[in-house]
Structure 1
Amino acid sequence: MATAETAAGVLDPVLAFALVGALGVGGQWIAWRLRLPAIVLMLAAGLIVGPVLGVLDPAAQFGDMLQPMIAIAVAIILFEGGLTLDFHSLSDAAKGVRRLVFIGGPLGWLASACALHFVAGLSWESSAVFGGIMIVTGPTVIAPLLRQAKLSRRPAALLQWEAIVNDPVGALAAVLAFEVVVVLQTATGAGHAVQQLAIGIGIATALGLAAGWGMATAFKRGWVPEYMKVPVLFVVLLGVFALSDSVLHESGLLAVTLMGIWIANAGLPSFTELYRFKEHATVLLVSGVFILLAAGMSFERLMILDWRALVFVAAVILIARPLPVLIALALTNVPWKERFLVAFTGPRGVVLVAVAGLFGDRLAGLGITDAERIAPLAFVLVAATVVLHGFTLSPFARALGLSAGEKPGVLILGGSRWSVELAKALEKMELPVMIADTNHARLRNARDAGVPTFFGDILSEAAEERVELMAYEKLICASENDPYNTLVATDLAPEFGRENVFQLKRVKQASSRHALPATLGGRPLAQELTFMEANAQIAGEHEFRVSTLSEEWRLEQWRKQLPDAIALAELGPGGRLHFLDPGEDPSDREGMKILSIGPARAERKNGDEAKEAKAARVAGQGNAAPVSSKGGPATG
């Protein structure tokens, strides 16, 4: 039986795996709870258990398997990134993405190489190879940052596409520079090196596209059963990566990225399920790789750096990154604010550290002594950019007006009177709200009330292009169509989180014949009413009300003043909106805002009846008795 620790004083490999998983996933969960950048916490956790405490030493525990493990993890991460690159999501950002790749990439390579040579003091050989890798901005970092920052669609698309496409491009740029260095150092024929590079890129492209087409065809024609689609996809992915990498190192990254892009744009009916599983796997891999890379960095390697390393990092952040991006996006339709946001957002991630370490060792083997500084420089650059952008991207985006929503908003499906009154109450709580409906006429009351609306199917491609879903944290399905409510709630639950999707009670919900499993539909609201019951309640002189608790006026006083009110949601001082479960009491805290529904106040009733009477007279019905919202004659 394996002991808890080996003779070397480090953890058993099984315990090491468990520790990496616990730190990675735990760090992401804590970051979600505290609203902190997840990458920063994972980086800190890896440094603490690695160089600081010496508990985790990846090289000692995993040995020769460490580099293949990281390489395969990076390949899967890039494949998942390719799965997100649906050409429909580009829309008006397409020109900007092309320029960032074809113009910004080469310019970034040149600027990075100059910074490495003139600022960090590396030789031109090391600078050329490392500069190619530095154009990689890293989907492993961009994805968590975008999830947290909630950027507007176009700058988010620019950053995401640039990160994923430039990852294999940067690796191949390093391969090209390395082959040139090999020619210069070993006097190998330049023609042979170029031939090898062209063959490797050609085979990688052919393998990636062929594998993507083959998987899409097999899935569409039912050649693979549903339960085997993900395992088959994994096996093909690993095969494509290994075959391509055996021809030309790092070309496997290009192959798997192209494979993912093809599948993303193949229109597969089961694509959503495939992508969600891959997304979950990527969360595990990103966290694990970051922990391993941080834990594997020793203080001895970092100590070979001097003050010029800090100046180099500053030069990259302030010059080598922004200048090529601004030049690439010049004369495009991208607004200046978005250009500045993209230019000054360049976090580096896993691929940079992994590939830099690999080529640093190979250059050192050729006799280039300063190549030993490449890996520490890469780690310092990753750490600095991750911490910087992790804490500044959200406020920077808000300052430029490019955040999809600073406060967690609410998206309401259905333009009924109940929905409009609820939206007006939520706006009083200073929350962004939108009402969506497939019927233009049903949105009239919402438009008259000044509530933002979307006309169309919320599941359509038009909604993907026009609705900033990132701006909304909660979804309330409240249309008059129960099956449609259930469909939308079920489809968007993974995007919003199942705990944030709610639905009005279905008419036949109590019948065992029509009962649905827990996996379908949304959660019930505190007041379990059907569409008809909810709107009848509003028509029956009930209203939504927002109350704020204070030191003198607490929950007990609120209940005494509003004995018939039913609390639906609460908004804490920190801005977190929480819809209450049936029977759940709101929190009794100072500054807590309570959204409730109850009988309308007397002044509200009289005001509504006066408006109805005036409207009746304007319509030429002045001789008829006005009708109150209850349906009887109005008084007063």
Structure 2
Amino acid sequence: MATPVDGALTPITAFALVGALGVGSQWLAWKLRLPAIVLMLAAGLLIGPVLGVFDPRRDIGELMGPMIAIAVAIILFEGGLTLNLHSLAGAAEGVRRLVFLGAPLGWLSSTLALHYVAGLGWESAAVFGGILIVTGPTVIAPLLRTARLQQRPSALLQWEAIVNDPVGALAAVLAFQIVVVVHADMTAGYALWELGRGIGFATLVGLGAGWGLARAFDRGLVAEYMKVPVLFASVLGVFALADGVLHESGLLAVTVMGIWIANAELPSYAEMRRFKEHATILLVSGVFVLLAAGMNLDALSVLDWRAGLFVVVLILLARPAAVLLALALTGVPWRERLLVAFTGPRGVVLIAVAGLFGERLVAVGLEDAALIPPLAFAVVVATVVLHGFTLAPLARALGLTAPGRPGLVLVGGSAFATSFAEALQRLEIPALITDANLIRLRGARNAGLHTFYGDILSETAEFKLDLIGYDTVIAATDNDAYNTLVATDLAPEYGRGNVFQLRRDTRETRRHALRTTLGGKRLAGGLTYGELNKRMHEGWRVRSTRLSEDFGPEAFWRRYPESVPIGELPAKGELRIFECFADDETPPELTAGATVIHLSPPEESGEDDNADDQGASGQD
């Protein structure tokens, strides 16, 4: 191993620093409810050009370019894995317009802005304008996770970002080939033949690899524990093979491969996608820190007022005009059109591809192309910071986010579920009751509650039911095995701390105890379905009582000695469901000032009392 120069980090230390800063930024963003991309960029700029602690080209060397290329390929493949065609419900027309019409219009509008505002020549503007088509799944995914958008606008932004990423790269390749024809002794026909051959080959390789892997996985030709490693190796092979024929066409190949596998209906698809999502979080974190740390402040110093004006025109005119024209005369509501039009963050692919083509155009003899890398970085920083802080407020202003506090999904229609949902409804917390038996939903439907007739684990529920406004699940059916299945399946999506189930009817002995990886938390009270159902028939019901300074936890227990607290709603915060620990009969600790949601017997709650308590006064 080569000895690092003075002040340089060893490659191992550099990788450790990038990983710690990237993942640490993601965690801090989650904790502070801030856009993760903004913190990752800030961390990279701080350790790189500001403090000079880390320089990727100095500390990592020539490996940086291939590492970023492979990371982008894996990110796009994982993005393709999320693009199941069923998720296009209600958004298919909009996605087609954004890809087939919006991309060319975006190319044209960006090229015009680059030429007339930023001052680039037509050749450099055409190449960079193609790259600006991309919006980037590396940026969109974290933003969507934070903003909690409704299903259709979220699908529009996600599909556009993933599909247009390779489209933008290929548009830049097309423009670059034309520039090469003009500046070299090459016929236009030959250049177009090379381009068509590369795109066709990449598409065929992606389709072939996706079809082959799907067949192999479905027929059991690959061991279960080998599926993810085989996927990784295949992605790298497909990317390298296609990229060897036409540079940047590897992005198209891996995207096509991912989309094919996503729609192959493989039994192990969910496990593969979750693992890929985890890998993508690591890669996105690392790539953003690397790119920010590697930015040269001297290169940025060449930007002038025209560059700033170009960024403004791109965000406020070029992007909105292309999107609004593409979505005109479609069934997409105008509010969703506005949200998509003014949401166009750029990310990893833009910087990586812009840096590559900037160098190639300068080599051809276009000196103004030296402005492309710093302009690309300025666009990424401006759009990431702007949309990172404005997407959620803009979506709320347009009414395209989940309303109010996150809600709760009750799996299993029963008297308890109906009473619980009614109590949440009075507190203005969304509640959804699901059941595959329509008769069991009769009480909830008669009460005007939000219900879903069907299996919560079905494909219909996944693609037709908008669950963005819910962050907690309680499995409360009369089938203990099904409750465990629901809790186990939904735990990775909702978080294991937010998935609960009723206590199983089987005695918790060593012989019958489940592994800790199965099921969810036990709902407070430790009641089985039979015990809960019996109490509801005896007149028990779920109600809420607000604690105050005069009516604190001790007063609550004096007034409701037999009640079973299920959860509480802080004065400023989100719903918290109580957990019952095994062999622990200690009641949960109540928070002063919170509203307690509890199951109470009729002698405590009052048989004719239809309103909830408001505190010590007891006024309804």
TM-score interval (norm. to shorter): over 0.9
Q: What residue is the counterpart of 1:529 in the other structure?
A: 527
Corresponding residue number in structure 1 for 2:596: 594
CA distance in 2, matches of 1:183, 1:53: 44
1:409-451 alpha-carbon deviations (Å, 9 max, x no partner)? 1000011001111111222332111000111111111112221
1:52-84, Cα deviation, whole Å (9 max, x unpaired): 111121111111000000000000000001111
What is the aligned partner in structure 2 of residue 148 from structure 1?
146
Select which of 44, 47, 50 maps to 1:49.
47
* Higher mean C-alpha displacement, 145-154 vs 75-84: 145-154
Question: Using the alignment, how far apart are the partners of 1:181 and 1:353 within structure 2?
Answer: 20
Q: Residue 420 of structure 2 contacts residue 542 of structure 2 at CA under 8 Å; is this kept in 1?
A: yes
Shift of residue 275, structure 1, vs aligned partner:
1.0
Identify if the C-alpha distance between structure 1 residues 450 and 53 changes in structure 2 by more than 3 Å, giving closer, same or farther. Answer: same
User: Corresponding residue for 2:504?
Assistant: 506
Give the equivalent residue in structure 1 for 2:606: 604
Paired position in structure 1 for 2:408: 410
- Equivalent in 453, 456, 464 of residue 455 of structure 1: 453
Helix, strand or coil at the partner of 1:130: helix
Tell me what 2:222 maps to. 224
Contact kept in structure 1, 2:412 and 2:476, CA below 8 Å: yes
Following superposition, the deviation at residue 555 of structure 1 comes to 3.0
Residue 371 of structure 2 corresponds to which residue in structure 1?
373
Q: Which moved more, 1:462-471 or 1:507-516?
A: 507-516
Between the aligned partners of 1:128 and 1:236, the Cα distance in structure 2 is 33
Farther off after superposition, 513-522 or 140-149: 513-522
**Which amino acid is 2:607 matched to?**
K
**What's the counterpart of residue 99 of structure 2?**
101
Counterparts of 1:606 and 1:436 in 2: how far apart (Å)?
A: 28
Q: 1:91 aligns with which of 74, 89, 94?
A: 89
- Once residues 157 and 523 of structure 2 are traced to their aligned partners in structure 1, the CA distance between those partners, rounded to angstroms, is 37
Cα pair 1:437 1:455 within 8 Å, conserved: yes
Residues of 2 paired with 1:549 and 1:41: CA distance? 38
Report deviation, 1:42: 1.0
Q: CA deviation at 1:159?
A: 0.8
* Structure 2 partner of 1:291: 289
Give secondary structure in 1 for the equivalent of 2:39.
Answer: helix
Q: Measure the CA separation in 2 of the matches of 1:8 and 1:368.
A: 36
Could you tell me how far apart the structure 1 residues matched to 2:152 and 2:382 are?
A: 26
Task: Give the Cα–Cα distance (whole angstroms) in 2 for the partners of residues 586 and 383 of structure 1.
Answer: 45
How far apart are residue 606 of structure 1 and its match?
Answer: 4.7
Matches within 5 A, 1:29-68: 29-68=27-66
Give, as a single letter, the amino acid of the residue that structure 1 aligns with 2:249.
S
Q: Does 1:479 align with 2:477?
A: yes
| TM-aligned CA distance change 1:192 to 1:581, over 3 Å | same
- Retained in 2: the 8 A contact 1:38–1:144? yes
| Cα deviation 1:81-112 (Å, max 9, x = unaligned) | 11111111112211111111010000000000
Match of residue 237 from structure 2: 239
Cα distance, 1:442–1:254 mapped onto 2, change above 3 Å = same
CA distance in 1, matches of 2:515, 2:307: 58
Deviates more, 1:7-16 or 1:82-91: 7-16
Distance 1:119 1:601, change over 3 A: farther
Q: Is the 8 A contact 2:410 2:473 kept in 1?
A: yes
Residues of 2 paired with 1:602 and 1:225: CA distance?
58
* Aligned counterparts of 1:433 and 1:16: Cα–Cα separation in 2: 47
Residue 188 of structure 1, CA deviation: 2.2
Amino acid of the residue matched to residue 438 of structure 1?
A
Q: Is the 8 A contact 1:150 1:405 kept in 2?
A: no
Aligned equivalents of 1:2, 1:25: Cα separation in 2: 28
Q: List per-residue Cα deviations over 1:560-591 (Å, max 9, x = no partner).
A: 4433333322223443222222246335344x
CA distance in 2 between counterparts of 1:365 and 1:436 reads 62
| TM-score between both structures, scaled by the size of structure 2 | 0.94
**Which region of structure 1 is more displaced relative to structure 2, 596-605 or 36-45?**
596-605
Segments of structure 1 that go 5 or more residues without pairing to the other structure are 609-636
Separation (CA, whole Å) in 2 of partners of 1:499 and 1:58: 38
Give 1:464 deviation, angstroms.
2.1
Does residue 1:185 correspond to 2:183, yes or no? yes
Q: Which amino acid aligns with 1:588?
A: T
Q: 1:552 to 1:230 in 2, by over 3 A?
A: same
Stretch of structure 1 that moved more, 39-48 or 252-261: 39-48
Structure 2: which amino acid aligns with 1:476?
I
Choose the corresponding residue for 1:195, options 193, 196, 210.
193
Contact 2:137 2:161 in 1 (8 A): yes
Task: Tell me which residue corresponds to 2:162.
Answer: 164
Q: SS of the counterpart of 2:503?
A: coil
Query: Quick one: which amino acid aligns to residue 281 of structure 1?
Result: A
Asked if structure 2 preserves the Cα contact closer than 8 Å seen for 1:104 and 1:325, the reply is: yes
Give 3-state SS (helix, strand or coil) of 1:475's partner.
strand
- Cα 1:219–1:603 shift into 2, 3 Å: closer
* Distance across 1 between alignment mates of 2:476 and 2:381: 46
Q: Structure 2 vs 1, CA of residues 271 and 444 (structure 1 numbering), >3 Å: closer, same or farther?
A: same
User: Structure 1: how far apart are the matches of 2:141 and 2:571?
Assistant: 28
- Percent identity, aligned pairs only, is 62
- Give distance in 2, aligned partners of 1:602 and 1:258: 62
Please, which of 111, 114, 124 is the counterpart of residue 113 of structure 1? 111
Task: Measure how far apart 1:217 and its partner are.
Answer: 1.1
- In 1: Cα distance, 2:114 partner to 2:565 partner: 60
Aligned to 2:616: none
**Structure 1 position 10, deviation (Å):** 2.6
Q: In the alignment, is residue 569 of structure 1 matched against residue 572 of structure 2? A: no
| CA distance in 2: counterparts of 1:504 and 1:552, whole angstroms | 33
Measure, in 1, the Cα distance between the counterparts of 2:126 and 2:587. 62
Q: Distance in 1 between matches of 2:212 and 2:12?
A: 37
Q: Is the 8 A contact 2:404 2:429 kept in 1?
A: no
SS of residue in 2 equivalent to 1:85: coil
TM-score between the two structures when normalised by the length of structure 1: 0.92
Q: CA RMSD in A?
A: 1.7
> How much does 1:40 deviate?
1.2
More displaced stretch, 72-81 vs 222-231: 222-231
**Offset, 1:2:** 9.2
Residue aligning to 1:612: none
Cα distance change on mapping 1:240 and 1:426 into 2, 3 Å: same
Deviations 1:299-358 (A, max 9, x none): 211111011122111111111111111111111111111111111111111101111111
Check if 1:546 corresponds to 2:544. Answer: yes
Asked if structure 1 preserves the Cα contact closer than 8 Å seen for 2:560 and 2:604, the reply is no
Which deviates further from its counterpart, 581-590 or 175-184? 581-590
Indicate how the Cα distance of structure 1 residues 249 and 586 shifts in structure 2: closer, same or farther if over 3 A, else same.
same
Contact 2:559 2:604 in 1 (8 A): no
Query: Which amino acid in structure 2 is aligned with residue 32 of structure 1?
Result: W
How far apart, in 2, do the equivalents of 1:235 and 1:602 lie? 64
